[in-house]
């Protein structure tokens, strides 16, 4: 496995590899970000969210950003750049205006190290105080994921993986399940910001999977969904359109847990500014069926 810092990694007893404290420092930054999310205050007023969370509307249907999304992203960019100064950033709330400021813009290459950050995955849940959102950060080396972490601040669950080292929830190694579709719990996303074009297709795929699997769940955080597969709590996932920051960390964590994750055509997930992709995930038994169901509906 490759990780920055020269002689930076060693093999612990049990075969797990680390890079000289880099992953520990990244983890500390993730938990600082978690504290920021947990510091949000809500009251009973119908206008609490707009006033207290600093909500703004983004392009697309029902797509919002809050002052907390921006503050968490600023904190991670600040702390991560102290840990890995050569890294650039591809983060959801970036101002990708073309300025040469360490931000990956649309036509930039992904050479070197790039952090791919979703400061709050599950902003709608956050606005509603639903208490299921995640902070998701992946690290690419020359366009390939090498590290990823997803923190669910409300539960303290910290999912993480480095390429070639397996996937972990805290200190415990986690594994994807190995059940067929008929015994699968399927989690999925509705692509809410693209509901005009993808809403009915999403529900058609969900309907077909409901008839063939055990049951369905919808959490509101794609990064968390991928981690539930990595931990063997759920068995299959699909969403018809996601962005790299939704899947950079969760995708690596799931692969390192032994799962499979691709787009709806069985191809590797793409990275870059302005890119979006369908995502299909599962295990070696159910993935071919989920891919067929979702792929057929995508191409109709």
Question: Where on the chain is the footprint of ligand IPD (CB under 6 A)?
Answer: 118, 121-124, 189-192, 220-222, 239, 242, 246
Check residue 5 and report its DSSP letter.
S
Smallest gap, in angstroms, from Cβ of residue 225 to ligand IPD? 7
Measured distance CA(280)–CA(252) in Å, rounded: 14
Spell out, one character per residue from 228 to 257, where the chain touches Ca ion: x when CB under 5 A holds, - when not.
Answer: ------------------x-----------
| Residues 6 or more apart whose Cβ sits within 8 Å of residue 37 | 68, 72, 120, 126, 133, 135, 153
Q: Applying CB under 5 A, which of residues 77, 94, 118, 235 lies at the interface with Ca ion?
A: 118
Q: Does 94 bind Ca ion (CB under 5 A)?
A: no
Measured distance CA(217)–CA(127) in Å, rounded: 20
What are the beta bridge partners of residue 216?
A: 186
Q: Which does 178 bind (CB under 5 to 8 A by kind): ligand IPD, Ca ion, none?
A: none
Q: Which does 189 bind (CB under 5 to 8 A by kind): ligand IPD, Ca ion, none?
A: ligand IPD
Smallest gap, in angstroms, from Cβ of residue 86 to ligand IPD? 27
What's the Cα-to-Cα distance from 277 to each of 251, 269, 280, rounded to whole Å?
13, 7, 10
Measured distance CA(251)–CA(210) in Å, rounded: 23
Nearest CA among 266, 267, 269 for reference residue 291:
266
Smallest gap, in angstroms, from Cβ of residue 249 to ligand IPD? 12
Indicate the residue among 75 and 179 with the shorter CB distance to Ca ion. 75
Indicate the residue among 206 and 279 with the shorter CB distance to Ca ion. 279
Smallest gap, in angstroms, from Cβ of residue 278 to ligand IPD? 11
| CB-based closest residue to Ca ion | 121
Indicate the residue among 93 and 289 with the shorter CB distance to Ca ion. 93
| Residues 6 or more apart whose Cβ sits within 8 Å of residue 21 | none
Smallest gap, in angstroms, from Cβ of residue 210 to ligand IPD? 17
What's the Cα-to-Cα distance from 211 to each of 43, 117, 205, 216, rounded to whole Å?
41, 35, 10, 10
| Residues 6 or more apart whose Cβ sits within 8 Å of residue 101 | none
Smallest gap, in angstroms, from Cβ of residue 145 to ligand IPD? 17
Spell out, one character per residue from 50 to 89, where the chain touches Ca ion: x when CB under 5 A holds, - when not.
Answer: ----------------------------------------
Indicate the residue among 12 and 95 with the shorter CB distance to ligand IPD. 95
What are the b/e assignments for 277-300, b being 16+ CB within 10 Å?
Answer: bbbbbbbebbbebbbebbbebbee
Token pair of 194 as six digits: 């693209």
Smallest gap, in angstroms, from Cβ of residue 184 to Ca ion? 24
| Binding site residues, Ca ion, CB under 5 A | 92, 118, 120-121, 246
């Amino acid at each position: 496995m490759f990780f920055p810092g020269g002689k930076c990694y060693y093999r612990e007893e049990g075969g797990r590899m680390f890079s000289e404290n880099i992953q520990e420092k990244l983890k500390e930054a993730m938990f600082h970000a978690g504290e920021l999310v947990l510091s949000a205050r809500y009251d009973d007023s119908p206008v609490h969210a707009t006033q207290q969370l600093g909500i703004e509307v983004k392009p697309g249907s029902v797509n919002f950003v809050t002052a907390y999304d921006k503050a968490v992203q600023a904190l991670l960019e600040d702390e991560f750049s102290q840990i890995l100064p050569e890294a650039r950033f591809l983060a959801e709330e970036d101002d990708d205006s073309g300025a040469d400021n360490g931000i990956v813009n649309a036509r930039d290459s992904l050479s070197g190290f790039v952090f791919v950050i979703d400061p709050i995955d599950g902003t709608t849940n956050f606005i509603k105080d639903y208490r299921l959102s995640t902070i998701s950060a992946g690290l690419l080396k020359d366009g390939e994921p090498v590290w990823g972490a997803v923190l669910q601040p409300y539960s303290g669950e910290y999912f993480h993986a480095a390429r070639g080292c397996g996937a972990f929830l805290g200190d415990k190694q986690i594994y994807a399940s190995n059940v067929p579709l008929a015994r699968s719990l399927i989690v999925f996303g509705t692509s809410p910001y693209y509901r005009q074009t993808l809403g009915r297709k999403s529900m058609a795929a969900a309907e077909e999977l409901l008839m063939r699997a055990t049951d369905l769940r919808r959490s509101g955080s794609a990064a968390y969904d991928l981690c539930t597969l990595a931990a063997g709590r759920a068995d299959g996932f699909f969403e018809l359109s996601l962005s790299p920051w939704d899947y950079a960390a969760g995708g690596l964590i799931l692969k390192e847990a032994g799962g499979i994750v691709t787009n709806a055509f069985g191809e590797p997930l793409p990275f870059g500014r302005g890119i979006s992709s369908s995502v299909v995930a599962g295990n070696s038994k159910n993935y071919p069926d989920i891919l067929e169901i979702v792929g057929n509906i995508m191409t109709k």
